[in-house]
Amino acid sequence: MNLKFDWPRAHRFDITEGRIKQLPEDFVVIERLPEEPCGEGEHLWLKVRKTGQNTQWLAKQLARWANVKPRDVSFAGLKDRQAVTEQTFSVHLPGKTDPDFSTLNIPNVEILSATRHSRKLKTGQLIGNRFVIRIRDSQLPANLLEQNWQQITEAGVPNYFGAQRFGMGGQNVEKGIQLLNGARFPRHLESLFLSSVRSYLFNLLLAERVKAGTWNTLIPGDFAQFTEGKAGFYCEHPSADDTERCVQGRLSPSGSLPGLSKDEFTALDDREGTVLESFQTVIEALHAKKVSRHFRKFRVIPEQPHFEVIDGDPVISFFLPAGCFATSVIAELCQLTEGDGTECHE
């Protein structure tokens, strides 16, 4: 199956070439959690700042330091290796005292705080991430780039899944399709591969709306989702109020992460079925595996945006909700060349 990963841009202004992640400090990620540790309990929450280190690798190092099993160390989501990132890990220490912090010697890792809590930090327990990104070797004058950035922060960008969701060269999608066709893989990888397939199908739906110019507009048969949270409703015929709320950024059209659903949205199902016609056997296989259908907003609007120039390089900062990808924002601004490292903000 011929898979394509070159997604159309929504904004029509000229873009510049640019480089990100040339140095870890060019890409700063600060995690925002929904709660703070209370100060007591059997879980030790460690807020860390890491530079040039992989999240999963660091979790294993913390487990070794605390003398616990790797499964006793958890985190909300993966973060870049080629970046400076702040995130929290929880270490399960029932009936144990805190480890000796003087023995913690992990290169380029700093403990910002260590506080006990009554609960572990779960995967996905995340409000979102704040990014501070330096763009090097930009070919556009800074004032034009700032104008383009202003348009992006007002109108938003297509909420594509980033390339890292699909694996190197899209191999996770290919393996997911093989899995759905009966191939066998280690059980712990199955959900990753299936998620990659569904994310790819969503991107195809979004790309079609971008090409039609309706990625940020409600049309008949859409499932509208509120900007805050994941709640939404079916719009067989969007009302004037629905349309106005979409213009204001309070609502967004959304697309399916295909799977089983008890609801029938005839117009939406027909439209998505047409776009994904060549993947019908894949979707049927997802149904056979009892994968549930979910919706994802077609648009994301960067929050708390800021633009400045440091030593001639534009630096942008913004906040994105959990599950949104910074590179999908930057791709609307410039043709990216990345340094080493893989971006994962889940």
Q: Write out the two tokens for 112.
A: 């910002």
Map tokens 């439209």 to a residue. 271
Catalytic residue (one of 14, 80, 100, 340)? 80
Which one-letter amino acid corresponds to residue 217? T
What is the CB neighbour count within 10 angstroms for residue 33?
A: 16
Alpha helices in 46-170 (DSSP H): 55-66, 142-155
HEC string of 166-212?
A: HCHHHHHHHHHHHHHCCCCCCHHHHHHHHHHHHHHHHHHHHHHHHHH
Question: Among this protein's residues, is 80 annotated catalytic?
Answer: yes
Q: Is 78:53 a contact under the CB 8 Å cutoff?
A: no
CA atoms of 309 and 298, how far apart (whole Å): 30
What is the CB neighbour count within 10 angstroms for residue 344?
A: 18
Residues annotated as catalytic (active site), given as ranges: 80
